[in-house]
Amino acid sequence: MNLQNLLLIVLTSLLTATGNLLLRKSVTNTTLLAGSVEQTLWNLLHLLRDSTFVLGVVSYIIATFMWLVVLSKQPIGLSYPVFVTCAFVFVTVGATLGLGESLSIHRLIGIALMLAGIGYVSVVR
């Protein structure tokens, strides 16, 4: 994998993670599935007017198109593990710093092992 493709995967992963974090933030205080169909539709319409929600969806859409570019250039067997590992790291860091979620030593060890594994797989042919 060349540096350009690696950077494209990392950027795609970052946009996906950003979308996840924005969507999480936007739905935190929303009851999506309310008791009635009318209330559920009202809640969904309310989300569509929330700029955080819209930005999260836009991030996902852009990331999807970028992922299609990755798939056209790289084997998925190598690209996907790098993508998932980066997304896990970005979401974990973002959730900890931006959403106040906790970060345990076990999760840190898991992240270190994932990064080591991706590093190994990316270098060994």
**Distance from C-alpha of 124 to C-alpha of 116, rounded to nearest angstrom:** 12
- The answer to pTM > 0.85 is no
Structure tokens that stand for 75 in this block: 């084997």
Q: 28 pLDDT exceeds 90?
A: no
Q: 40 pLDDT exceeds 90?
A: no
| Mean per-residue pLDDT, 60-75 | 95
Phi, psi of 33 (to 5 degrees): -95, 95
Q: 125 pLDDT exceeds 70?
A: no
Under 8 Å between Cβ of 75 and 32: no
Q: 116 pLDDT exceeds 80?
A: yes
pLDDT value of residue 38: 81
Contacts (Cβ under 8 Å, ≥6 apart) of 31: 43
> In this predicted model, what pLDDT tens digit does every residue of 80-115 receive, in sequence order?
988 999 999 999 999 999 999 999 999 999 999 988
Q: 56 pLDDT exceeds 80?
A: yes
**Distance from C-alpha of 116 to C-alpha of 43, rounded to nearest angstrom:** 43
Q: Which of 1-15, 28-42, 46-60, 100-114 has the lowest mean pLDDT?
A: 28-42
HEC letters along 105-120: HHHHHHHHHHHHHHHH
Domain ranges of the chain: 3-123
Contacts (Cβ under 8 Å, ≥6 apart) of 52: 22, 25, 26
Please state, rounded to an integer, the average pLDDT across all residues of the chain.
Answer: 89
Structure tokens that stand for 39 in this block: 């209330």
